[in-house]
């Protein structure tokens, strides 16, 4: 049987699946990477895919003029929820999931950048992807916007001091996370090339990178394991023999987990909605 295929949507150069992508490949999944920012077409539906991974970017979840592919992404997210297709929305990906399903995203009163401790909520203990989290795990943040109102039926899983909704689940197999489980110091060093937005928050960009670098083993342990558990959901939920993307398309888009994490530097303060949004 062919490997399960995950549709990966990238919104900006330098914001690839990174650590999460590495773990999905290691788990035997195939990544069908679509660089929407570079003109790669998005599929009309998820018929040929077993999972959906939506990455981050500097635009907001409703900035359709700036990123004209966003309506198609929101449609795919709505389909994923309706069909309970295994989905992971990261930062902007979570914000797109929120607005696609009737929730509300706004500018954060306290943007989060760098390492932030997360607090598991009661539902986390029985969630298949987050159940193993213990204590207050650190995660990389890079967002100026956040989910203020959850979609109807969403189950909150993680929170933090300044961001109420750090992770939630819709249905049984659709997750959104505001933080960046995919990135490490190498990725955020690039995002901080334009350091003005960080300095406006009173942060030293070099110190932010150093702190993430020192935490790399812990980040790999927590969020690599999370990616492994999501990969297992994708593998377990696929139909016996779903259709496969056309050979030409697969050859064009299948990728290794090269990409950097999520958003290039906060050169656009609006990162917020994406990923840091």
Measured over the CA atoms of residue 138, residue 112, residue 127 and residue 92, the dihedral's sign is negative
Query: Measured between alpha carbons, how far is 274 from 263 in angstroms, rounded to an integer?
Result: 8
| Domain edges within the chain | 5-273
Residues in the chain: 277
Q: What percent of the chain has pLDDT over 90?
A: 67
Q: Are 45 and 89 in contact (CB under 8 A)?
A: no
**pTM, to two decimals:** 0.86
Q: What top-level class would CATH report for the domain 5-273?
A: alpha beta
- Find the helix packing angle between 70-83 and 92-100, rounded to 10°: 70
Q: Write the pLDDT tens digit of every residue in 245-265.
A: 443 344 345 554 444 333 332
What does the pLDDT look like over 38-92, one tens digit per residue? 999 999 999 999 999 999 998 999 999 999 999 999 999 999 999 999 999 999 9
């Amino acid at each position: 049987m062919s490997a399960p295929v995950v549709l990966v949507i990238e919104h900006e150069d330098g914001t690839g699946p990174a650590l999460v992508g590495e773990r999905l490949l290691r788990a035997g999944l195939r990544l069908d990477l679509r660089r929407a920012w570079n003109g790669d077409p998005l599929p009309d539906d998820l018929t040929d895919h077993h999972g959906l991974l939506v990455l981050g970017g500097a635009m907001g979840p409703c900035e359709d003029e700036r990123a004209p592919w966003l309506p198609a992404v929101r449609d795919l997210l709505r389909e994923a929820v309706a069909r309970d297709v295994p989905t992971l929305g990261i930062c902007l990906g979570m914000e797109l999931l929120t607005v696609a399903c009737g929730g509300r995203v706004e500018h954060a009163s306290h943007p989060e950048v760098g390492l932030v401790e997360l607090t598991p909520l009661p539902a986390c203990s029985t969630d298949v992807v987050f159940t193993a989290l213990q204590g207050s795990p650190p995660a990389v943040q890079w967002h100026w916007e956040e989910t203020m109102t959850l979609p109807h039926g969403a189950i909150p899983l993680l929170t933090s001091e300044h961001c109420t909704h750090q992770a939630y689940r819709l249905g049984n197999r659709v997750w959104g996370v505001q933080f960046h489980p995919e990135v490490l110091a190498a990725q955020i060093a690039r995002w901080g090339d334009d350091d003005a937005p960080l300095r406006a928050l009173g942060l030293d960009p070099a110190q932010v990178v150093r702190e993430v670098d020192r935490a790399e083993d812990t980040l790999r342990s927590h969020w690599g394991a999370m990616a492994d558990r999501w990969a297992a959901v994708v593998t377990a939920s696929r139909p016996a023999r779903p259709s496969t993307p056309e050979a030409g398309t697969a050859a064009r888009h299948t990728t290794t987990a090269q990409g950097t994490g999520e958003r290039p530097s906060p050169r656009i303060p609006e990162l917020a909605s994406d990923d840091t949004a």
